[in-house]
């Protein structure tokens, strides 16, 4: 799941504004570990949006005040345990360390989501199914943008771009068929899995009548 140490894109704690900007431009991502001396001494995680906001002022950039907390996890931590920790601590990344405390990698919520998605960049295999109660069953790869544009459903969650990712972030575990979670005024029900991949998810707006499907039954066509 993780990005290995040799491929972590990180920034030194005393880097200048120009050096940070150049680093972001050369290797664009949304978050960078910040370290002192080497990657065994990471002091936190820099969000690009925090750097951009701070850059709008004329004051010198001090990364030690901009970084957010970056927890550490053991190299054998299971994916569902990572999800639970991300949810409980409201973070989207963790530094992976070995038994000696040395950094061996970085794992993010995106890494876990990618692992449980068939092809995040590909076409959806399953069409949307609108049920009589107003709920809709969707492919887990449906993006939050598509939910808004195609179905008028608004969801916002930092670091999440797909419906399956939203369910993972909200549940904090690898769900089973029939598991439900409430999110932003809606109930999300896992209707089908392929291994750990969330292939079908039913979305129902809370406050409207809904018929709970039998998890063993296929969605209506």
Give the DSSP H/E element, type plus range, for residue 218.
none
Question: Do 211 and 131 form a contact (C-beta atoms < 8 A)?
Answer: yes
Domains of the chain as residue ranges with CATH: 3-117 (3.10.580.10), 129-205 (3.30.465.10)
Tokens of 19: 């050096």
Residue with tokens 């069953």: 137
187: helix, strand or coil: strand
Question: For residues 75 and 99, what is the distance between their CA atoms, to the nearest angstrom?
Answer: 8
Per-residue pLDDT of the chain (221 residues; tens, 9 = 90+): 789 999 999 999 999 999 999 999 888 888 999 999 999 999 999 999 899 988 887 778 889 999 999 999 998 888 888 988 888 888 889 999 998 889 999 999 888 887 766 554 445 567 888 898 888 999 988 888 888 888 888 888 777 888 888 888 888 888 889 999 998 889 999 999 887 788 899 999 887 544 444 545 555 44
Q: Is 203 helix (H, G, I), strand (E, B) or coil?
A: strand
């Amino acid at each position: 799941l993780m990005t290995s140490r040799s491929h972590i894109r990180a920034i030194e704690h005393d880097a200048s504004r120009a050096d940070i900007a150049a680093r972001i431009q050369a290797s664009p991502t949304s978050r960078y570990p910040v370290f002192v001396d080497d990657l065994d001494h990471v002091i936190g995680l820099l969000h690009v949006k925090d750097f951009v906001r701070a850059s709008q002022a004329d004051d010198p950039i001090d990364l030690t005040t901009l970084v957010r907390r970056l927890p550490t996890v053991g190299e054998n931590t299971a994916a569902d345990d990572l999800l639970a920790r991300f949810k409980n601590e409201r973070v989207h990344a963790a530094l992976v360390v070995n038994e000696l405390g040395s950094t061996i990698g970085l794992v993010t919520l995106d890494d876990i989501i990618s692992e449980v998605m068939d092809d995040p960049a590909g076409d959806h295999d399953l069409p949307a199914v609108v049920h009589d109660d107003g709920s809709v069953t969707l492919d887990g790869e449906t993006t939050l943008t598509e939910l808004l544009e195609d179905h008028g459903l608004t969801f916002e969650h930092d670091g999440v771009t797909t419906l399956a990712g939203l369910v993972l972030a909200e549940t904090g575990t690898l769900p089973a068929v029939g598991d439900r979670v409430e999110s932003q005024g809606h109930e999300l029900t896992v209707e089908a899995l392929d291994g750990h991949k969330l292939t079908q998810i039913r979305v129902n707006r809370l406050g409207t009548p809904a018929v709970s499907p039998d998890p063993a039954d296929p969605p209506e066509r």
